[in-house]
Structure 1
């Protein structure tokens, strides 16, 4: 079976020029193609390449814009011959085509027979869809009611990222660990690490995905099992069905659990899930299928991925998990930095003091070392014993006779 050649696409600069010439914003183009806005930006920047039906629809839309540059599109309209099915290379797994870790987190779901993208009210969305404010890290080319991005201070940008991402990340960490305290700690630690490396996170195309990956890594760290607090049992959930689902999810290996959460819970596509879990696409597909089969074997009513996604969202919304707030994350990072700075200074001071003390207190006197031994001359060498005398021979004969004959034979006695 041969695969047909890929539809040619214009160069990267031409793609963006055609969109702007057609008076289309990235939101409108994403809505017409049925993909996420972050996907459109990735196509225009060259970070990813469209495939399958998405590629055909994207090429057809660009060709139409090239023929009629003055044509404008409504956000709700879809081009003829638009995307209907996912790519054949990944249809067996059915990845969701919504990347919720984008800058705005608003994506149009593409229907699929295998998955269902999160609804706008899903607790997995990293940004609140009901907030009137847009994230402060929106690209400069978009109309931002907050003004230019440069007007925001690093503290304001970090607080905006925390307010949008922290509630959903705590629920995701709870599904990964089943522990409320560890879920909050993982999110706080991830944001502390983000504030510590804020210049790097601020320039990242997907800061929400950066923090999500850090939170998941901390939550699934195997060293938590050695902590005394981790050994105490967690209070169970009130609903029996929620307890059964959480028990089955927690029995999965950590890598399978994370792939299931990112794909069927958050709504990432299969390539994005593989990239975030640092695995190949076939390995991620195998983990996802194995996790689905395991859950379907124990809970047959969740064999449909749509029902599984809905139940994961309900399970994540069951517990009222709250975070400490952006100031606590920043203060925790700064306290940790101050602690390690003071520890390093104290260690250097102790090392310098010990060195100075050893230099100031030398030994009282010089003790010469023991010289090596010398050969002593005119001493006869040790020789073997000489012949026995007559008396010694008689004594030897007597001892041999007494040991070999008679009841007085010497023998060891047990104690």
Structure 2
């Protein structure tokens, strides 16, 4: 607004109207022929004084208001007006001519309007020096993505642009419970192992043993390379059957187990005892104790391990098939002499000792299955007391796998 007032003020200053001779002559005759009345003369003087006062007030008020505007716009370009019409002497003297020519005033009004718009636009433009730095603030709600160079100072691709190396997997099919070791081949980038919606990170050059704990897949992600490991649940089921009756083959105790339901060969194991496979069945030799636990393992079509265990209890404990009493008056050599029957059947090296239960003294010993004890004390040469209990012990020189070296028991002597 201050600029427009200044423009109007500058355009009115030294403003002149074109000369009209007819109008001037008519005004002169009117002034010469008519003497104004005292009333009009007083009105004219008062009007002149008022005009001077109002004009002076406006002039000094505008000067005060535009001083600050001139100081602020000192560096801005100032619009000037060039009058293309050169005033004549008659035009300079014709200051009381009230007749105006619209066509003559039109260019000056357009020029005033044009100068006003130009000056307003110029004052609105920012003044920027060559050394001035232009800062741009992003609008609220907008994100300006930074430009990140994919090359380092030496011109080589950065880590973000390097390709991830794929992981070398030893297996692509696992079963529940299996383990696999995964190695990260990248020097500067981590890889991810995803299983059951859980992610494990392996650092550059690191290793991790991963256990397949749920059926489904394990994903190994190295950059854009994704490898899948299938995790399967065993599809087969093993069944084990056994007869708890002990079978003696040549004096050796045996219990037979049979497996079924597997597509491949069954592998057997047994706790404490010795076992062997005969004709597809598992034979266990329980030399001590009554409880037998066996484990059968096989593979299904997916290569998954199928396992089954079974525990049985036998009716009697093996003790070289020895009897617990003899009758020295019996005519049957199997009843009137003491010799463990398994020693006769097995034909192995052994030593048999008979002890006095009260004193612990050895009263008989032999290593020949044909010389069983008949109840005679070798120290005195006489029979032991009737219905007496004695201790016996057998030492095996070369026991079988899983067999103890010594067997012990008691013998009752009747006569």
Q: Name the structure with the higher helix share.
A: 1
TM more than 0.5: no
TM bracket (short chain): under 0.3
Q: Which is bigger in relative contact order (C-alpha 8 A, separation at least 6)?
A: 1
- Normalised to the residue count of structure 1, the TM-score between the two structures is 0.16
Q: Name the structure with the higher strand share.
A: 2
